[in-house]
Structure 1
Amino acid sequence: MASSALTKPQMRGLLVRCLRFRIVRAFIVSLGVAALCKFAVAQPRKKAYANFYRNYDSMKDCEEMRKAGIFQSAK
């Protein structure tokens, strides 16, 4: 009587069912991480580079480094 009360475990298709759930979950998590990376890291970095190079004068910077003595071959 005790054995008839227990339900049989699912043996066929168990791996497919578990993997389907986990693959969908992993896909959703990876999309979330990619979006977070794009909007929290890449976009602010692009903006910072654009702001820096908007008013950057390489000749002025080179001249300041030359006066500071960073370049050994240029006087």
Structure 2
Amino acid sequence: MSELVGKIPKPQMRSLLHRQIKRNLLICGIGVAIAGSYMRFVYGDGQKRAYAEFYRTYDIEKEFQRMRKKGLFDSCDADD
């Protein structure tokens, strides 16, 4: 009868907290590396491209004339 019933393994009580901390730090490190890579390559580079495109097509003289016509400047008359 004793051969049919398997032995229950003893619970691991020593160094349990240390192993869990090591595992959690490893998982956290991998998560931080993935998040950092995402922010650098996907989000950051996308923002750089968007700013570069905006300033490549930005016409400051046209923008100045638009704001002047609205009367936003005190030093210039709003000519229509």
Same fold, judged at TM 0.5 (above):
yes
3-state SS, counterpart of residue 8 of structure 1 = coil
Q: Using the alignment, how far apart are the partners of 2:22 and 2:53 within structure 1?
A: 46
Structure 1: 5+ residue stretches without partners: none
Partner Cα distance (2:71, 2:24) in 1: 56
Within a 5 Å distance, the mapping from 1:1-12 to structure 2 comes to: 5-12=7-14
Distance change >3 Å, CA 28–CA 46, structure 1 → 2: same
The runs of at least 4 consecutive aligned structure 1 residues that moved more than 6 Å come to none
Which residue does 1:29 correspond to in 2? 31
Q: Which has the higher helix share?
A: 1
Which residue of structure 2 lines up, in the alignment, with residue 56 of structure 1? Answer: 58
TM-score, normalised with respect to structure 1: 0.76
Percent pairwise identity: 32
| 1:16-68 CA-partner distances (Å, limit 9, x unpaired) | 0011011101100111111112222110110111121124232331122111x
**Residue 35 of structure 2 aligns to which amino acid in structure 1?**
V
Alignment RMSD: 2.0
Q: Does 1:19 align with 2:21?
A: yes
Partner amino acid, structure 2, of 1:17: R
